[in-house]
Structure 1
């Protein structure tokens, strides 16, 4: 990956916190021209003050028309990371239709909208680009109280495969990364309680949760030319969770 990202223009959605922020910062460190969109205005302002060369834009991905307008206005990209997402945790018998609609809108429909815009511009400008979709181990297994989230991430995986099939002839690669629990700031707050974490950790052969940089490394690998013959895969970053 040495020097691959220098001068490359990369869009990261949901890049103002958590895994997305880690991706944005590492791409910047490696010389990319990074653009990120988020609905977290204060977080974007903080990011911009610390990294003035990173371009930011505020958009609520639940507003499809505004999303189209903002993404289209950002121009052409060499790479895209669809990281933005939401996790509404409700058991199957109590899950609300409104929760289902919001989750699918943010995790699935907005990914479709953004990817279409970016991929069309790649094709029109003869860019052999790369798209990485952030999925989850929840796409591959049943997790209690995650009925809607599991369904949305399974959709992400399916879309990844179809996108890879249809965009491959244009030289555009599409892959997904499927993390386990990752120790973002929010992740540490939620999973720091042993009664909450022990059950999940017991199912991970490596015996721990993941760190942000471990997901970031996988994303940058798939974005880069080091993965030039890899397309249509879903790469677990899960410490062996899905192997058990």
Structure 2
């Protein structure tokens, strides 16, 4: 049997959470270039409108879903008319950096609700649709290098991303019988609206770069290769795994 390393995703239906900015927005534009049908989910309508407009200008099909994914009932209602999803990108996320001793219940709950709870229940809802439509789909959880290491002032975020790595493995095992693959992608620091306030601090930025053997901060486009690969048939025997796009951070 000849080897055909195809990443052809033409006609696939892709649902992306947190699609209005950063990695999510780049995912949307990259998948649009691959002739896919996009379902973009985010809370902020204006930014989502901008991404939607760019995709329509490319001649691709796109559906905008404006909702808070931490509200399961609202999310389920908004996607009720969507029957087929081939690929789910659980990208929505947030952070609340600060010392353990200063962490508030509000920040803990906010980060866990978005980073873990929402990913869990969005996956549950989409998996039901995949099973109903007999779709051997792919789920990609956007994790972080912080899901594999620890870091000062990142206790809540690290806890949430370690949880995502565990969730990825458990889902992969449970859903394998349905032909649904579940993997994660763990980036290093990426230039996004979420990281901009931290990376604006030159001292912090320099410290981050020193920890990355490749010596640079990632851009959202740097993460796309891993996401496209895991979405495609080129990765059809890969499930329960993580691709670390961290410039070598976790290798040290």
Task: Give the TM-score, by structure 1 length.
Answer: 0.95
Query: What RMSD over aligned residues (CA atoms) do the two structures have, in Å?
Result: 1.5
Displacement after TM superposition at 1:2 (Å): 5.2
Residue of structure 2 aligned with 1:101, choices 100, 105, 109:
109
CA distance, structure 1, for counterparts of residue 144 and residue 86 of structure 2: 24
Assess if the C-alpha contact under 8 Å between 2:213 and 2:247 holds in 1. yes
Residue 124 of structure 2 aligns with which residue?
116
Displacement after TM superposition at 1:144 (Å): 1.5
Assess if the C-alpha contact under 8 Å between 1:174 and 1:231 holds in 2. yes
CA distance, structure 1, for counterparts of residue 86 and residue 63 of structure 2: 15
Residue 8 of structure 2 aligns with which residue?
4
CA distance, structure 2, for counterparts of residue 88 and residue 193 of structure 1: 16
CA distance, structure 2, for counterparts of residue 207 and residue 3 of structure 1: 29
Displacement after TM superposition at 1:74 (Å): 2.7
Residue 53 of structure 2 aligns with which residue?
49
Post-superposition Cα deviations, 1:74-118, rounded to whole Å, max 9, x if no partner, equal 322011000001111121000001111111111111111111111
Uncovered stretches (5+) of structure 1, i.e. residues with no partner? none
Assess if the C-alpha contact under 8 Å between 1:12 and 1:36 holds in 2. yes
Displacement after TM superposition at 1:187 (Å): 3.6
Residue 40 of structure 2 aligns with which residue?
36
Residue of structure 1 aligned with 2:161, choices 153, 170, 185:
153
Displacement after TM superposition at 1:48 (Å): 2.2
Assess if the C-alpha contact under 8 Å between 2:7 and 2:234 holds in 1. no
Assess if the C-alpha contact under 8 Å between 2:41 and 2:67 holds in 1. yes
Post-superposition Cα deviations, 1:176-234, rounded to whole Å, max 9, x if no partner, equal 00000012355455314421111111111111111211111111110111111111011
CA distance, structure 2, for counterparts of residue 38 and residue 117 of structure 1: 16
Assess if the C-alpha contact under 8 Å between 2:6 and 2:233 holds in 1. no
Paired residue secondary structure (2:160): helix
Task: Give the TM-score, by structure 2 length.
Answer: 0.92
CA distance, structure 2, for counterparts of residue 120 and residue 62 of structure 1: 18
Residue 125 of structure 1 aligns with which residue?
133
CA distance, structure 2, for counterparts of residue 10 and residue 222 of structure 1: 13
Uncovered stretches (5+) of structure 2, i.e. residues with no partner? none
